[in-house]
Structure 1
Amino acid sequence: MKTLYYLLSCMIFGITYSQNSEQLITRSKIDHDIEEEAEKVSVRDPKKAIEISNNTYRLSKIIDYKNGMKESCNILMMKYYDTGNFKKVIEISKDAEKLSLETADYEILSNTYRLRASSFTELGFNDDSHKGFLKALTVADKIESKNYKFYQKSLIYVGLASYNAHINAPLDSVIYYQTKSLETATKIDDSEDFLNKKYYNLTLGYINLGMTSIASKKIKDAEMYFFKALKICKNPKYHVGKDLEAATLNEFAWLYYDQKEYDKVINYAIEAEKLERQISKPYIRRDIYEVLFRAQVEIGKKRILKIHESIYKLERQPCKCRKKDNKYSCQAYDR
């Protein structure tokens, strides 16, 4: 009987120790996977980041690790938004909001409201979108870190610019928020933790101002903004993501298409297409292929037109016919 009691005690102690040990290891592994795996691959490989974050969320939920669940949700919302799965962003945002409120995490809470609002914009729920952005701004003011506050507010202003564009508000209101975003991003310092975030927002700001400059028919301004964006993208000091570089090259291609500089269009579009293959962004790919096709058609038309013009000139040349052996020959066609 004593032996049986001893064995049962050992088993209970062993199970308890194993569970506690497993919980510690699991929490440690979750934090590692979030910080060292999901966050690091999120820029270059969104699909991999989603896969890792889904797993860290699942493990966190099993052991009721709220911080792990919250951080996983934050990455999932960003990556699902990047891949165009806006319904999934809204679905996950409910859990992220609840967890952020419970832990008074204003950084993730503000980001949750922003991403939800941006998703509402894309899906056409404009009232919900506007309310979401205003909530995001209110919460952002509670963020203690000045750098993160400026970073988050800069992104919210980008969202408000996009919202105004979607509701066909006057172009000036779109430009107003784009300028606010750029000005706010410049307030972020160049500390190691925020260097890439700052220059990501600056690049985004330059791309957006370039696009509205085209709409305002300020072509030189648009070209200047796109060059500033591309300069950051190509600088090895910053890691802003190949998606922004591909987007900038794509915007350059469309800019030159409107100016009928088709050789430049093809050069920029081909460079953008090479980058897009590495990151797989369908919405950018569609634009790249369209502008490339259009430019090639226009170049083809020009070549055909030149051939037709040459033939026309030949046909219109004075016919210097001469009679020989009761037959006429035309010099214009003597090759």
Structure 2
Amino acid sequence: MAEITAALVKELREKSGAGMMDCKKALIENNGDVEAAIDWLRTKGMMAAAKKSGRAATEGLVGVVTSGTSGAMLEVNAETDFVARNDQFRAYVRTATEIALGNDGDLEAVRKSGFPGESRTVEEQLTNLIATIGENMSLRRSLSLSVDQGVVASYVHNTIEDGLGKIGVLVALKSTAPAEKLVETARKIAMHVAATNPQSLTEADLDPALVAREREVLVEQARESGKPDNIIEKMIEGRIRKYYEEVCLVKQIYVIDGESRIEQVVEKLAKDLGTPVELVAFARFGLGEGLEKKEDDFAAEVAAMSGTN
């Protein structure tokens, strides 16, 4: 068998654009023959996927699944919104989300899990899908919520089909009350979360850096008023309380009735059911949030293609 040197692997990487380990495996499978290794990578879909890996993937789908006292979400990104309507892509996201539920939302465990009906892992199945559909895709993030007693309910906004859409939310209510008595309110709170995108559950959970940054802005604004320092301090504290009401879920005004705070909604549910109910967690995935979206310059693209630029 031919020796698989680092130089040989490098050569194949440069020609194919595939990953180092894939190139090494291809060379081993083809006795060090670079051209045969390229064909091997092509048949496996690895080279096509590698060539697409540098393209921005900010579209796609968020998958959401619940089962009694637990739920999971998974975001899979693609380059265009059209892929979200592809049956193969939707089936992949749906299956991968179910796998996330079985792995407590651990993304690395999801990547390495076997994909049902295939001799590939979840990550390898995505590589194959990239080659098939012709767009770059990525498994971006996943998580799960669970309670010992109670319910985890979900809501999906801009739904493509059941459990798949552009915004996914999970809400966990802890209680000994029957699940059917909890799930309606939990789902409505999930709808609220989709609309308001709170930054934390309570004041105590809020990132101190966010509070500090908000306080700095408020201080500068207050100083411009020319008021005395003791008055400024009171102004700032009042505005910080208002800030908490805007970004902490339990303090927000419930969008369903426009009057109650979320904590009051939960208190009323507990009173109606005659048993304690606690809102213990929530999670929200907005498709592509935080990713830099590519802005296409169509005029520049045409000019480049025509050789006039």
Common topology (TM > 0.5): no
- Structure with the larger helix share: 1
TM-score under structure 1 normalisation?
0.24
**Which is richer in strand?**
2
TM-score (norm 2): 0.25
Q: Whose RCO is larger (CA < 8 A, sep 6+)? A: 2
Q: Which has the larger radius of gyration?
A: 1
